[in-house]
Amino acid sequence: MKLRIIVCLFATMIISALLTPFVRKLAFKVGALDDPNKRRMNKIPMPTLGGLAIFISYTLATMVMMRNQMPTQQLFGIFAGEICIIGTGVIDDIFVLKPHQKVFGISLGALMVYFFGNVQMTTITIPFLGMFHLGWLSLPITWIWILAITNAVNLIDGLDGLATGVSIIALTTMGITGMFFLNIGNTYISLMIFSLVAAEIGFLPYNFFPARIYLGDTGSLFIGFMISVFSLNGLKNATFVTVIIPVFILGVPITDTVYAIIRRLLNRQPISHADKRHLHHRLMQIGLTHRQAVLVIYGIALIFSFISLLYPISNVWGSILLLVASLLGLELFVESIGLIGKNRQPLLNFIKKIVKNNTSRSNH
């Protein structure tokens, strides 16, 4: 059985690699191109729709090659949501949708997996307070989670191979955590996760710098959506640890999204306002090359993943201390690269003030 699964995953990777050149040609034919502009990093029109190759190979793996490993109702419920997301992404890559139209497509996919795929958060356990049944709040909280994670992954898709590589790291960590640490009892979820990883690995050589094809919204929305759905399977009966683990695993896209919102609010701009101060932009603005910026963010994603693996073996107080230390370290990094702005460095300024005062006292 294990050998069969390994063969299926390897076949998924090969199918994705073989499909990608055909999807690239299709993108040119249907006009799914990313034209250069002030916000884009590409200098020539680039074909999108790359996510279509990932989706097809992943679907062949889960719906055909490993079909007997999956529960029918949940599999088809999730698949219905996938179709909504892929449809939204393809339309956006060809015709360019408005933000509220994309939100509608993601919301439709969320409703599909909630009602037909039984992917939902129903209870939450808060340390020292106990368990709470979410009741009618289950639907809006599940919807917000799916919408937030999907958009977070979509937001970091700004450099060649960035979203693909970061999501491979995140998904691999999620699969390992679910299989060996959380013991959520759904082995098929880990198989679905690793099937998506295999599909992305097959696509990555075409997407890494210099890219020959982009994920497009077809890919970034699909990957983000699937990550949100997979993480919710471990959050059905949420606890502090089961909530914090996927948040850390997705540390890069979540950090970029949260600080983008803070930056725009401080600058009194709409949250949907586009700018060139995202994490990857800032790394390049301080002197890193395209490839170096991507590799640095891969490294950051690996650090987040390593931290997430410490939570299942920590007690409550250890988890809280780990969270506080991680947030302080993250804030220092964010301020040092000017992610919010050059003049917005409260923690760094506080540390400099303390050091200056201590130096002055020692001199006296």
**Residues within the annotated binding site for Mg(2+)?**
154, 217
Number of neighbours of residue 344 by Cβ within 10 angstroms: 16
Cα separation, 171 vs 64, in Å, equals: 21
What count of residues does the chain have? 364
Place of tokens 């060139």: 276
Cα separation, 358 vs 85, in Å, equals: 56
Q: Is residue 263 within 8 Å of 334, Cβ to Cβ?
A: no
Q: Is residue 294 within 8 Å of 209, Cβ to Cβ?
A: yes
ω into residue 99 within 30 of 0, thus cis? no
Residue set of the binding site: 154, 217
Judging by beta carbons within 10 Å of its beta carbon (0-12, 13-18, 19+), is residue 323 exposed, middle or buried? middle
- Is residue 111 within a helix (H) or strand (E), and if so which, with residue range? helix 99-115
Cα separation, 286 vs 280, in Å, equals: 10
Q: How far is the first Cα of the chain from the last one, in angstroms, to the nearest whole number?
A: 74
